[in-house]
Amino acid sequence: MDLNPIMLAAGAEIMRIYATDFAVVTKGDSSPVTEADQRAEAIILAGLKHIAPGIPVIAEEEAAAGRFPTTAGTFFLVDPLDGTKEFISKNGEFTVNIALIEDGKPVLGAVYAPALGKIWWGSAGKGAFMAEVSEGVIGEARPISVRQPEGGLIAVGSRSHGGAETQAYLEAYTVADFVAAGSSLKFCLIAEGRADIYPRMGRTMEWDTAAGDAILRAAGGRVETLDGLPLRYGKRFQDNDGDYANPHFVAFGHLSVSR
């Protein structure tokens, strides 16, 4: 299943709005939303309905409106514009994210950073790839994989979130450098072998992480909860949290990077 044409279409609409004096609205959970989020999601929903009409979609803006389709073992998770704060500040570090979930695992994912001109994708058993995008055309794909670190680790963290808890977690490791990045780019940096570890001690939703998680797993990495279990998807009707909310987690590169 090729998600990239849908990614490019959504990215083109996002960039069209990015060039304008767009308005920002605050949602009920105090997070910002723009016309770009809404228009990109509409494009993605239409595209997925065309290529996979029988697979339900959990999408961020639909979820914010209280619209959750019934899902079984297989469904899509969509974040049409991950890193809305980065979009608003116009630093370029925002992404389009689509993932396919099967039995709680992200088995296919694509992440597109339209302002940076880069796209990543990966699937279980087929590996992970990235390519440059120029004028809406994807260039030559190259395979990517996590690196085996030599010496200190390169940690990556959020540009918009973070704090003492993340720093405390990293004290257990020899960290040579820390890189800040927005949106799901953090997963992609590890998948490319440009970073080794990403602890996230703040709130995220499944659509924030699924696509990057799928790519990282396809590149040889993993994403675990703090008790060492793989991060799972489809967490609706949770007793201790909201629908599709993630617990704290850590993304790792090479198997040699472990607690």
Q: Say whether 81 counts as a known binding-site residue.
A: yes
Rounded Cα gap, residues 149 and 62, in angstroms? 40
38: phi > 0 → left, psi -120 to 50 → alpha, else beta; which? alpha
Does 138 share its domain with 33?
A: yes
Range 239-248 average pLDDT: 92
Does 176 share its domain with 52?
A: no
Does 122 share its domain with 28?
A: yes
Rounded Cα gap, residues 121 and 202, in angstroms? 25
Does 50 share its domain with 93?
A: yes
Does 125 share its domain with 162?
A: no
Among residues 144, 173, 197, the one where a domain terminates is 144
Range 190-209 average pLDDT: 96
Does 116 share its domain with 242?
A: no
Burial 228-240 (b: 16+ CB within 10 A, else e): eeebbbbbeeeee
Does 11 share its domain with 53?
A: yes
The secondary structure element, H or E, covering residue 9 is helix 4-18
Among residues 144, 174, 198, the one where a domain terminates is 144
Q: Say whether 229 counts as a known binding-site residue.
A: no
Helix 35-51 to helix 4-18 angle (10° resolution) is 160
Rounded Cα gap, residues 78 and 85, in angstroms? 18
Does 129 share its domain with 164?
A: no
pLDDT at 45 over 90: yes
In percent, the amount of the chain with pLDDT more than 90 equals 77
pLDDT at 164 over 90: no
CATH number where 29 lies: 3.30.540.10
Rounded Cα gap, residues 162 and 83, in angstroms? 14
Query: What confidence category does residue 18 fall into, taking pLDDT thresholds of 50, 70 and 90?
Result: very high
Rounded (5°) CA angle 258-150-251: 35
Task: Give the position of tokens 């950073």.
Answer: 113
Q: Which domain holds residue 227?
A: 153-252
Query: What confidence category does residue 5 fall into, taking pLDDT thresholds of 50, 70 and 90?
Result: very high
pLDDT at 160 over 70: no
Among residues 144, 170, 195, the one where a domain terminates is 144
pLDDT at 149 over 70: yes
Does 113 share its domain with 52?
A: yes
Query: What confidence category does residue 222 fall into, taking pLDDT thresholds of 50, 70 and 90?
Result: very high
pLDDT at 259 over 80: no
- The tally of domains found in the chain comes to 2
Q: Which amino acid is at 141?
A: A
Per-residue confidence (pLDDT) for residue 63, from 0 to 100? 93
Q: Say whether 241 counts as a known binding-site residue.
A: no
Give the global pTM. Answer: 0.95
Among 52-66, 151-165, 240-254, whose mean pLDDT is lowest? 151-165
